[in-house]
Every structure is written in structure tokens, then in C-alpha cells.
Amino acid sequence: MLETIRKRRSFRTFNKIPVEEEKINTILRAIQFAPSANHKNPWRFWLVKNKEILTQLSQATPWGSFIAQAPLAIVVCADEALSREWLEDASIVGAYIYLEATNQGLGTCWVQNRGSKTPKGKDSEQYIRDLLNISDNLRIVATFPIGYPDEEKASHSDQSFQPDKIRTV
């Protein structure tokens, strides 16, 4: 497990190799096994494969233009009325997407939507709700473009380990 955790990086360039359905399904299964407060599972997911929609998703924030190059993306949403801990739950799902994608030899990157604005100043969450026809009760946490990385990135090494962040009592 530590090996996968070390290998996990944020990838922002993707090559044209299509992602196998089996790998996509494995990620979609993995995220539903994530823990959630009181087992409320307040999350909802949109799997986006349509090129035009991916291009539009890439314009939801100034920090996600690379979504347009990905063969697919998962938009992580959560129903805040279902659980007070919706954000914690959705964030754990984000970590699961990162890790299972890494495990499958794929790359991804968290693109922040919650609280973000489009380059034209529109609320990023509302932009995505309108684009994907998502109901108003769902918060849009983040978008994860997924594909085979078109770049090499070093694994996290022990140099990133910061013992001073830890206090033992």
C-alpha cells in the first residue's frame, strides 16, 4: 500500500490511449467502499466521457484546463442535507480515486470546484450543475480527469517526510 501511496501524484497531461472499461469500473467500485460518517454515503458521481462535455468541464475553473485532454472524468458531488460530514466523506472519495487510479497505472488530479469560480466569474458549482443537469441540493466538490499520464513524475520519497509535523505525546 505504501508503494501506491508514494507513487500517487497529480497528473495533468494525458495521452490518447483509451482507458479500459474494466479499469473505470474498478475505480467506480473502489470509491463506493469508502468510509462515510454514519454510513450515510452522501456522495453522488457523474462519469463523463463525452468529449464536448469534458471540454466544457475544463472551463469550470481556471485550474482545470487539462480536463479537456482526458478521456474521462469523475465529478464528485455530495448531498449536504444527507450528512453534516458531506465534505469529509467526499474528500475521502477523492483520495480513493487518486489511489485506485494509481493502482491501475492511471493518472488523475483533483480539480477544485467547491467555492471556485469560472474564469468569467460564474460560480463553478452552478456552472457544472447547469452543464450536467445536476439538482440544486448537490454540492459539487471536485472533478477528477482520468487517463494514462503523458508525463513522468517521481514518486514521493522520504525527503517529503516531515517529522516536525508530528508530535508524539
Ligand X SMILES: Cc1cc2nc3c(=O)[nH]c(=O)nc-3n(C[C@H](O)[C@H](O)[C@H](O)COP(=O)(O)O)c2cc1C
Chain residues in the site for ligand X (CB under 6 A): 9-10, 12, 61, 63-64, 109-112
Least CB distance to ligand X at residue 149 (A):
11
Least CB distance to ligand X at residue 65 (A):
9
Integer Cα distance of 118 and 58 in angstroms? 10
Contacts of the segment 116-123: beta carbons below 8 A, 24+ positions apart = 116/60, 116/61, 116/63, 117/61, 118/59, 118/60, 118/61, 118/62, 119/59, 119/61, 119/62
CB closer to ligand X out of 43 and 110: 110
Residues paired with 144 in a beta bridge: 74
DSSP state of 32: T
CB closer to ligand X out of 133 and 162: 162
Least CB distance to ligand X at residue 109 (A):
5
CB closer to ligand X out of 36 and 124: 124
CB closer to ligand X out of 109 and 134: 109
Least CB distance to ligand X at residue 62 (A):
8
Integer Cα distance of 21 and 27 in angstroms? 10
